[in-house]
Amino acid sequence: MSVVAISNANAKKVAKNGSSLTPNLLPEDALHFNTKSPDDLRPLFTQAAETGLDHLVIEGGDGTVRTIISTLLNTYNEDQALPAISILPRGTTNQIARNLGVKKPADLTAIFNGKFRTITMPLVEIKSKNLETNYGFLFSTGALPHVSRFAQDKINANGVGGGSAVVGAVLKAVTSDRAALMPPVKHNIKGILGHGETILDHEGLALGTVMTTLPTLMMGLDPFWGEEDAPLRVTWVEAESLKLGRTIAGVWAGRKQNRSVDGYHSHNVDSLSLLTEAPATLDGDFIDIAGHELKISASRPVTFWMPQ
């Protein structure tokens, strides 16, 4: 089995303590690369696509995982088999690894010895004529990016990081001036099912959108309750939505119910078109999509290997 391991030298824990992927942990013939830029990866994946790669190990946080998998998917052709992926969480935020990764470096040994379980799922695929295709697990516009920016600027500065910072910022939004912290922005949204039916169509001000292919988000939060048989889970919130605090509490408690009467809408779709000037984040990283017409869907399936 051919194995390549990639460590992000800039990831928080890797930069502080060095890589956990020591030579005695990896298979004898494995290749280990330390990278600081996606440009380092393109020649590697171009060669891997031609010669074949069985197993890719990624060491870093959510941004590292998103960048490496995006580069992989943008390098491989649709007819080329993708490697299986294992994720070792070593970043500031590690939400993806909570769903799809290992807990500690020693877990990789079992995987290398053939003792693993498999999860195969798509990512969120974001295409535009003028942008390179982006891939990730959690894409949001408007409210959540506004809250994330507040968390970075105000809460992270006080030593609170990751999901805890976002939770703190959400609580701030609920208990303070919502319009100032997360102002409504125009969104043109259309969601379509596989047989061509339009299930979602909105043009006007919205508080924001959030979409994922993951089963849950950070800390078990699952703000999706669509019932359609489609892979892309989408929730969007009207500008004049009501009962924000009560709705967040209900979602956090796992209560699945139709909340459209209060301005909260959730559907599962096969594809989504989106045009907005709102800020946007993909797996915690801000991306510039303002003014670009986006086509969003589920990517080709990707296989993840995890300990049994």
| Domains in the chain, number | 2
State pTM to two decimals: 0.89
d(CA 164, CA 93): 10
Domain match, 146 and 110 both: no
Do residues 268 and 164 share a domain? yes
Max CA-CA distance within the chain? 59
In a domain, 126, yes or no: no
**Domain check: are 157 and 84 in the same one?**
no
3-state secondary structure of 162: helix
Q: What is the DSSP letter of 213?
A: S
**Are 191 and 271 spatial neighbours (Cβ–Cβ below 8 Å)?**
yes
Give phi and psi for 182, each to the nearest 5. -140, 80
Per-residue pLDDT of the chain (308 residues; tens, 9 = 90+): 799 999 998 888 898 999 999 989 999 999 999 987 878 899 999 999 999 999 999 999 988 999 999 999 999 999 999 999 999 999 888 888 988 999 999 999 999 999 999 999 999 999 999 888 999 999 999 988 887 777 666 545 444 344 444 555 566 655 566 777 789 999 999 999 999 999 999 999 999 999 999 887 766 678 899 999 999 999 999 999 988 878 877 876 778 888 999 999 999 999 999 999 999 999 888 899 998 999 999 999 999 999 98
Token pair belonging to 128 = 């535009």
Q: Give domain status of residue 291, yes or no.
A: no
Among 144, 139, 296, 285, residue whose Cα is nearest residue 206: 144
